Amino acid sequence: MKKVCVLGLGYVGLPISMAAAAVGYQVIGFDTHCQKVKDLNLGKTSVEGVDDKELLHLISKGNFRVTCNETELSEAEIFLICVPTPISGDFKPDFSYLDNAAKIISKKLKKGALVILESTVEPGTTRDHLLPLLEQESGLDSKDINLVFSPERIDPGNKKWNLISTPKIVAGLSSEAFELAEEFYSKFIKKIVKCNSLETAEMAKLLENTFRYVNISFINEFARICRELGIDVNEVIQAAATKPYGFMSFHPSIGAGGHCIPVDPFYLSNRAAKVGAPARFIELSKSVNQDTPLYFANLAKEKLGSLKDKHILVIGVSYKPNVSDLRESPVKVLIEELRIMGANISWHDELVREWNGEKSAPLNGDYDLAILATPHDYLNLDQLGATPILNTRSSI
C-alpha cells in the first residue's frame, strides 16, 4: 500500500488523512504541536465535522498514525502540505509554515515522490518558491519531484459539500505528477478537475474566496444603506433571489471571518502589486470589512446613549453560525471596540464555551443590550426577556 505523509493536522490535513486511511492508504500525520498529536492518538479533536470514533477506529486499525517526530516520515511516497499560510500584520503572505514543511519533507524525499501543496498561495508560489526550496534542500532535480498544487476546499459545518463530494482542482508540474495525484485523490474524492498549469489552479483558489470577500463587503455596505432608509435588507435579498439567473444571495454579517476569506484576497493583491496591476476592489472590501465591527459598536452607543459601564452581551463569537471555529472572527474586534468605549462585555456561545480566558455567559435579561453577532441555530433569544437586541444580520 502507498505510504502517505500529511503535514498539518487541522481543518484540512486531518480530514484528508482520515479519508485516505479509510480507503487503504497507510497514512502518517505530522504536526509540530505535540499536545495535539497526543490528543489525536487518543481519538480527540476539535476539528469541525470529524467523528472522534472514526478517528480512533482508523488509529487503532493501524491505517493512520500521528506523530510530531520527523524521523518517522522517511518511508512516505506521497507528501501533502496542509499547513497554514496566513498573512502578516501588513497583509503580506507569510510562508514560514510552508517553508518549514518543505524543509522537513526535503530530508525524506526520494526520487519520484509525489509532493502536493494544498495550502493557499499566490500564483507562481508552487513553481517559483516551493520547487526551488525542495530542490535545494533535498539535492534532487526538478524532474525527480512530482509536484502538484491542489487547493483545499473545506467548508466547516457544511453538511452537503464535504471533502468527498466537492470537486477537487488538481494541477501538476508535469503530466506524470498530475496522473499520480489524480490516482491518489480519485480513491476518495468523487470528481477531479484538471487545470493545465499550477498557476491556473493557484489563481482559481484566490478567485473563489476573493469573490466571496468582495460580495460580503458589498452586502454589509448595502445593509447599512437599507438601515438608513428603514428597509429590511433580508426582505430585499429574498425578493432579488427570486430571479432565476444572474444573482447569488449574500447576507449581511459583522464581517468576514475564517482562515480563507479574510486572508486569501491579500495573496492575490500582493501578487497583483508585483506585476503593477490594480486590486482596488480588494482594498475597498478590506476597508468596509474592517470598519463593520466599529459600525455596530457605534450603533450600540446610539441605542444606549453612552456605553460607559453598560452591561452588554455579545451573542455568538465564532466566525459563522453553527461552528465553533474562531479563526479570524470579526467578533473579537467588536468586543475590543465595545470595551474601549467603556462597556462591560460578556459573551455567549455554547459551541465555543471558553475563549481568551473567559467563559460563555448565560442568556438572560440582566443586560442593557444584547448584540446578535453569530446566530447559531440552538439559540433561544426569548431567554433575554426585555433586553433590547441589536441584530447584525438585519438592517431594522
The number of C-alpha atoms within 13 Å of 353 and in the hemisphere containing its C-beta is: 2
Measured CA distances, 247 to 235, 252, 280 (Å) = 15, 16, 22
E strands along the chain, which residues? 3-7, 26-30, 64-67, 78-81, 114-117, 146-149, 168-172, 192-194, 311-315, 344-348, 354-355, 358-359, 369-372, 389-391
CA dihedral 291, 297, 302, 305 (to 10 degrees): -140
For residues 298-313, one letter each, b for 16 or more C-beta atoms within 10 angstroms of the residue's C-beta and e for the rest, the string is ebbbeebeebeebebb
Max CA separation in the chain (angstroms) = 70
Pull the grid cell for residue 375: 446566530
Amino acid at 20: A
Residue with cell 488538481: 170
d(CA 178, CA 182): 6
> Taking a C-beta distance cutoff of 8 angstroms, is the pair 390, 297 a contact?
no
Give just the sign of the alpha carbon dihedral 169, 175, 178, 179. Answer: positive
Backbone angles phi, psi at 254, to 5 degrees: -90, -5
Q: Which residues are catalytic?
A: 260
Rounded Cα distance, 91 and 282, in Å = 12
91: left (phi over 0), alpha (psi -120 to 50) or beta: left
Residue 314 carries which side chain, given as an amino acid letter?
A: V
C-alpha distances out from residue 144 to 20, 109, 112, 116, 147, Å: 24, 10, 5, 14, 9
CA angle, 23 then 27 then 29, to 5°: 135
Size (the chain), residues: 396
